[in-house]
């Protein structure tokens, strides 16, 4: 599966996405600078969100439309989306800046009009946000564009996941990535459940990853060890600028450290290989082997007193110890001599 110039597969490097979300704080200049910072921090891609308040909800002050139990407690849905949305007229400039920086740029559409808009920008992939995984008409329309789809699962039951994937596949789209996500902002680390990253791959037959709202780099590193091929993290120039997503977003220094940690985790995972490296072979000199530990005259018997398994590892393998005890030697052997079958009758 390919997103832009990045090949994503079981054997590829992790595709690391910096999520811009609302972290432009209403400023195009801030958005452009954030893209540049994401490149410096080591991201492979920058992701936008394409919606307006009117495509997300309605302007109502009824209780149903007041947010409860999140970092946005007490806010009106419509007003939150008015504050947080990325103006559509910015998108072309943001896509261009990303291209200039060598970053892949794509977006999460939240309705069909957003998909149509993004198609005009030749978006290379689509992200289905956690809260949209049950919007089957939207998923069906996105899938019809035959571009890779990354789906977050923050509020999804197993039935929701199966239906979303089935919808994509029925539309002839099999370029799918399923992201483990905890839809809490920020998400408690004890609710990360990173084992599900590998379980997703086994259960659903897709590439997997993490859309992370925890604080810090621990969850992305653990996800990598469980086979994640996509990591998405909210990114901000400076949390002090504020904004709806600031509290659970990484700044440049933190994101850089996360990228470094993920890349080191990839190297540490390695492969199943029982062949020794040159360094490991050289290190065998510090293993134990059989040495003469007291002077022995020709014709004397080897015993527990004059032969021991000690470091270094240049003598006979210790597995021969019981075999050679009691046998006589055919040379005078000095203390410190590597024991060899050549010296034993």
End-to-end CA distance of the chain, in Å?
Answer: 65
Give the model's confidence band at 40: pLDDT under 50 very low, under 70 low, under 90 confident, else very high: very high
| CATH match for 278-343 among 3.40.50.720, 3.50.50.60, 3.90.1210.10, 3.60.15.10 | 3.90.1210.10
pLDDT digits (tens, 9 = 90+) for 232-254: 999 999 999 888 889 899 999 99
Average pLDDT over residues 318-339: 96
CA atoms within 13 A on the CB side of 303: 9
**Do the first three CATH levels of 8-269 and 278-343 match, i.e. the same topology?**
no
State residue 281's pLDDT score. Answer: 83
Q: CATH second-level architecture of 8-269?
A: Alpha-Beta Barrel (3.20)
* Nearest Cα to Cα of residue 43 among 251, 280, 194, 238: 251
* Nearest Cα to Cα of residue 236 among 16, 14, 46: 46
Give the model's confidence band at 276: pLDDT under 50 very low, under 70 low, under 90 confident, else very high: confident
Q: pTM value?
A: 0.88
SS3 84: helix
State residue 137's pLDDT score. Answer: 97
Strands annotated E in 259-306: 289-292
Task: Kindly report which listed range (223-232, 258-267, 275-284) carries the lowest average pLDDT score.
Answer: 275-284
Neighbours of 217 (CB within 10 A): 21
Q: Where are the alpha helices (DSSP H) in 144-188?
A: 158-170
pLDDT digits (tens, 9 = 90+) for 111-135: 999 999 999 999 999 999 999 999 9
Q: What single DSSP character describes residue 234?
A: E
Residues above pLDDT 90, as percent of the chain: 86
State residue 125's pLDDT score. Answer: 98
State residue 284's pLDDT score. Answer: 83
Q: Is 209 exposed, middle or buried (0-12, 13-18, 19+ CB in 10 A)?
A: buried
> How is 242-275 classified by DSSP, letter by letter?
--TTGGG-B-HHHHHHHHHHHHHHHHHH-----S
State residue 183's pLDDT score. Answer: 79
For residues 120 and 69, the model is more confident at 120
Give the model's confidence band at 83: pLDDT under 50 very low, under 70 low, under 90 confident, else very high: confident
SS3 66: strand
Average pLDDT over residues 47-55: 96
Average pLDDT over residues 38-47: 98
d(CA 168, CA 65): 30
* Residues in Cβ contact with 167 at an 8 Å cutoff, skipping those fewer than 6 apart: 136, 139, 140, 143
pLDDT digits (tens, 9 = 90+) for 141-177: 999 999 999 999 988 999 999 999 999 999 999 999 9
Domain boundaries, the chain: 8-269, 278-343
Average pLDDT, the chain: 95
Neighbours of 332 (CB within 10 A): 13
pLDDT digits (tens, 9 = 90+) for 187-203: 899 999 999 999 999 99
């Amino acid at each position: 599966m390919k997103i832009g110039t990045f090949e994503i597969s079981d054997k590829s490097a992790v595709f690391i996405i910096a999520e811009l979300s609302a972290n432009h704080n209403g400023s195009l200049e801030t958005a452009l600078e954030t893209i540049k910072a994401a490149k410096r921090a080591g991201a492979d891609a920058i992701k936008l969100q394409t919606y307006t308040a009117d495509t997300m909800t309605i302007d109502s002050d009824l209780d149903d439309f007041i947010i409860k139990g999140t970092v946005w407690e007490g806010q009106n849905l419509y007003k939150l989306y008015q504050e947080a949305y990325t103006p559509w007229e910015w998108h072309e400039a943001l896509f261009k800046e990303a291209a200039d920086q060598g970053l892949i740029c794509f977006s999460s559409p939240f309705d069909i009009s957003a998909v149509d808009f993004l198609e005009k920008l030749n978006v290379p992939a689509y992200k289905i946000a956690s809260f949209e995984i049950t919007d089957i008409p939207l998923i069906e329309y996105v899938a019809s564009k035959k571009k890779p789809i990354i789906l977050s699962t923050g509020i999804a039951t197993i039935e929701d996941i199966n239906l979303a994937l089935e919808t994509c596949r029925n539309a002839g789209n099999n370029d799918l990535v399923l992201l483990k996500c905890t839809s809490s902002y920020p998400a408690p680390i004890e609710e990360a459940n990173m084992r599900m990253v590998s379980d997703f791959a086994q259960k659903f037959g897709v590439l997997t990853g993490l859309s992370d709202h925890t604080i810090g780099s621990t969850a992305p590193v653990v996800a990598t060890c469980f086979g994640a091929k996509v990591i998405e993290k909210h990114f901000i120039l400076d949390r002090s600028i504020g904004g709806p997503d600031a509290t659970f977003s990484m700044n440049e220094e933190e994101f850089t450290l996360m990228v470094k940690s993920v890349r080191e985790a990839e190297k540490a995972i390695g492969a199943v290989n029982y062949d020794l490296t040159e360094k490991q072979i050289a290190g065998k000199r510090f293993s134990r082997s059989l040495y003469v530990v007291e002077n022995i005259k020709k014709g004397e018997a080897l015993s527990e007193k004059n032969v021991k398994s000690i470091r270094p590892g240049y003598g006979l393998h210790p597995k021969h110890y019981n075999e050679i005890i009691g046998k006589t030697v055919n040379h005078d052997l000095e203390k410190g001599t590597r024991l060899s079958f050549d010296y034993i009758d």
